[in-house]
A and B are shown apart, each in its own frame.
Chain A
């Protein structure tokens, strides 16, 4: 269980399940001891750097550190990456991610494939990563990388891909863009875990539940 549970994670009931929304952009599902993460984009900084675009290398380190922190705090049995685990072509950062995966060999890591997950299958096998090329049903949920167009009758679709964010407006032309968890009637979108990934601004409709992430807190708006 998280040591800093008083602020960093917020409990949330979804499809009859109790979840924890963590400000480090993750969902923990205690009854299944399962951690859900979307759009990690590991290797993106290295990918850019290889092409001469100077993304600060600390971006990658920070992402790795945060993943390790979550694994150590929640001690999940299963970790589900809901797509875009790795940013496109192979680079050294894949091995660094592999070091983390193998260090936690008692955890089952699984990947629901996303559009950026284009590595050779052998690379996934190398670190014992179980790959789901199609949407994965799990309890009351249906996990997919891209939000599914047609809603499923019984299952609630949890997805990533969009990197959701919202704009909060205050007095005097002040506004804030913040990443968020976005839960609609039949579909929920996880925030992007990776830094250096950007935000897509979402429009909330009545009935949608939005939790913004601000300074290590998850706040319902």
Chain B
């Protein structure tokens, strides 16, 4: 059978179901059957699964034209990787439908963290033709003895939702697993499926690695553009002084009718605390929602979340208040409307969320944007433009992650062992490790075999080198511990589990929140009013309470920062406002605020950089507006403070938000002198950053993940946590001893690299300075704080005062400001 004949088989099946294949689907079928690898760029809900599932089946039919209907037990033919377990079920159902439709005798199985040991053993004995699994579970397969036999008949690997994986260490895990599978099966087809991201070509390179050399790869674009309609929920009255404090609750009354008028609504919030608060207020505002509205965030227990997901699927819910925990996941077809509370901070995230509604191909996705303060309306305008121009963020891949490499090598040593020369060649073929030097490779090998010691008396035991030069793990205990650690995502050790006294998990909260409560106190969590009964070790026992009022837990954790796409869009919109080009409804609504900004200070155009300098009772404020996102401002703020302090002894407190940063001092700041001395120059940038930013604490936090992935900290066996107290330590301790005794340790150095690249976003910082270098500096000296300055100042105050007092304080400030 040739390609056209088999493709006809698929077309016929499609036709029998009343479907018409999309051009991109047929293009993918053709490319796959011609032996190409590649990336399919298609949004969720566009039929992307069948673009790659069909040709896997068709290829088998082509290879066995006479008996494909009767052949059983063909060995593992294809691996389908998905980032989250929840998606696996749906893919399995689609695959089963196609298998039945074409009349094959194939088995489809899932293997995730939830799969039982007996089921795994069954899969091992009797391999399914298609295995749907996660990156971690694939590594676990590679960690089992005789794994090479299991992959003996493998034809293809498909990585679904590659855009979700490519910018993470799980993406690196995928690269490593693929490098091994390619060595075992040089001819396999490797395909990815990805939503649109800014670096599609790079994403393809990362996925294929050494397969690129075969020159047989393709990018297939669906050209299905999701129709997204963005509606801003406009406040009746624009506050002239926006302060990011009330979580958007003021607009709640305008959200209720949106929920009423649509079949099912997802309400996305940015933080778990905001999620809890909105849920509670919505219930208060409309008690009829009780029972048909639910909540979903990552601290709520898996069981509860599963229930919510199923109920959503079955149209039993009218609304779900959620966080990024529902960004991904099953297609919730009943969802008609999306509400986004507050800034989504990035275009991709916003588009993704909008796409959770209107799941049928070609359907319109409707998303309502609810600003939590006035300035966010400018973002809405910027988002609309970015969506129109398809200007989506990149997902920069992790490179040279030594922690993942250490974990992978031990994985190989645990199963059948490895020869370093072979594996070195394989990993050099990955995008992530293409630049690894022989010296670094030798360090990693020595790290897993000697733990960094050359002493003959040392008892370090992990990986040994046997007489044939094979690196392997002999100790059963070490092997077991390693397998357990593969799947563990580093989590805060200070998380406490919340359980009912009667049993039943509710979720987890941070220890410091619980430490503020005493038994009998009531708090709101997972949408329930709970009374604290007692704290037992790391478990918080609660019972339901009928009290209406209670504290809401807050979870620490990184605040999202503006993407560069959104930053750029924002600068553009402000420039448009400066030129009075008020096409967007949001800018029109905001014009009182923008006018005030212009009167008091200035609205910067593209070629201008705005700085404001003024005195208040608090002291002297210098506020700069790069509009470059919180992370970059964190670095810029420290850098500028450092450079000014070189001119004269002066101390600052620094505050920032996504728009700009503030330096506050109790003495006059030599602003003009500083500008003259090259305040924003890129000269000596690296050095100045090193001197100005205390990166040790940041690196220490980054190291938590690294230590856990590299297997330095062991959290104990799930069932017998107590017995291993003697082996417990923290990543922090390791960080400190590496700092003292092994500063050349690559894992330790990696923490600093990650701080530079991911936390401070050093490249953005540099780009921002270069841009500012081209711009005209506008230094305005307003008499008082401006609308732009206000949210930054408020943000700083919030960190010092309790929320109640803050509200009073702000009321006073506003009065004072408007006088």
Contact = CB atoms under 8 A, between A and B. Distances in A.
B737 A50 contact: no
Nearest to A50: B459
Given A174-B694, A195-B740, A198-B730, A51 B478 contact: yes
A54 B447 contact: yes
Nearest to B477: A51
B730 to A, nearest CB: 6
A49 B737 CA distance: 14
Interface stretch (A14-22, A30-38, A55-63): A55-63
A76 B292 CA distance: 75
Contact of B451 (A49, A87, A171): A49
B671 interface: no
A64 interface: no
A79 B163 CA distance: 62
Contact of A52 (B453, B694, B711): B711
B726 A50 contact: no
Given A51-B461, A172-B653, A195-B737, A57 B726 contact: no
B502 to A, nearest CB: 33
A158 interface: no
Contacts of A46: 458-459
A47 interface: yes
B727 A51 contact: yes
A195 B741 CA distance: 11
Interface in B714-743: 714, 726-727, 729-730, 732-734, 736-738, 740-742
Contacts of A62: 740-741
A198 B733 contact: yes
Nearest to B460: A49
A92 B457 contact: yes
Interface in B411-467: 447, 451-453, 455, 457-462
Interface residues of A, number: 28
Q: Which of A47, A51, A89, A197 has the most CB of B within 10 A?
A: A51
Given A49-B451, A50-B461, A87-B726, A59 B737 contact: yes
B737 A52 contact: no
A57 B741 CA distance: 9
A116 B727 CA distance: 12
A33 B455 CA distance: 36
A116 B734 CA distance: 20
A92 B711 CA distance: 23
A62 B742 CA distance: 13
| Interface residue SS majority, chain A | loop
A88 interface: yes
Interface residues of B, number: 38
Q: Which of A50, A58, A174, A198 has the most CB of B within 10 A?
A: A50
A93 to B, nearest CB: 9
B471 to A, nearest CB: 13
Interface string A159-181: 00000000000011010000000
Contacts of A59: 737, 741
A196 B729 contact: yes
A116 B462 CA distance: 24
A221 interface: no
Contacts of B711: 52-53
Contacts of A66: none
A10 interface: no
Interface in A72-96: 87-89, 91-92
Given A195-B740, A198-B729, A52 B461 contact: yes
B447 A171 contact: no
B681 interface: no
B488 to A, nearest CB: 15
Nearest to B406: A54
Given A57-B451, A58-B741, A58-B742, A49 B461 contact: yes
Contacts of A12: none
A51 B653 CA distance: 46
Contacts of A53: 451, 711-714, 727, 729
A48 interface: yes
A55 B735 CA distance: 10
Contacts of B481: 51-52
B149 to A, nearest CB: 27
B667 interface: no
B523 interface: no
A179 to B, nearest CB: 11
A116 B452 CA distance: 26
A196 B733 contact: yes
A47 B720 CA distance: 19
A47 B726 contact: yes
A54 B461 contact: no
Q: Which of A52, A59, A116 has the most CB of B within 10 A?
A: A52
Q: Which of B460, B653, B714 has the most CB of A within 10 A?
A: B460
A52 B651 CA distance: 47
A55 B459 CA distance: 12
Nearest to B447: A54
Given A51-B461, A87-B726, A172 B654 contact: yes
Contacts of B727: 47-48, 51, 53
A52 B474 CA distance: 11
Given A51-B461, A88-B726, A57 B455 contact: yes
B461 A56 contact: no
A54 B462 contact: yes
Interface in B609-654: 651-654
Interface in A162-221: 171-172, 174, 195-198
A119 to B, nearest CB: 13
Contacts of A57: 451-453, 455, 458, 460
Nearest to A54: B451
Contacts of B199: none
Interface string B696-716: 000000000000000111100
Given A88-B726, A196-B733, A49 B459 contact: yes
Contacts of A56: 452-453, 737-738, 740-742, 745
A172 B652 contact: yes
A195 B733 CA distance: 9
Contacts of B736: 196
Given A56-B742, A172-B652, A174-B694, A49 B458 contact: yes
A49 B734 CA distance: 12
B475 interface: yes
A175 to B, nearest CB: 8
Given A49-B460, A53-B712, A91-B459, A171 B737 contact: no
A172 B742 CA distance: 30
Contacts of A50: 459-461
Interface string B488-529: 000000000000000000000000000000000000000000
22 contacts: A47-B727, A48-B729, A49-B459, A49-B460, A51-B461, A52-B460, A52-B461, A53-B711, A53-B712, A56-B452, A56-B453, A56-B745, A57-B451, A57-B460, A58-B740, A58-B742, A59-B737, A62-B741, A172-B651, A172-B653, A174-B694, A197-B733
Given A50-B459, A51-B478, A52-B451, 19 more contacts: A50-B461, A52-B462, A52-B481, A53-B713, A54-B462, A55-B451, A55-B737, A56-B452, A56-B737, A56-B745, A58-B740, A58-B741, A59-B737, A172-B652, A172-B654, A174-B694, A195-B740, A198-B732, A198-B733
- Report, nearest first, the 6 A-B pairs whose CB atoms are least far apart: A52-B462, A54-B451, A58-B741, A49-B460, A56-B741, A57-B453
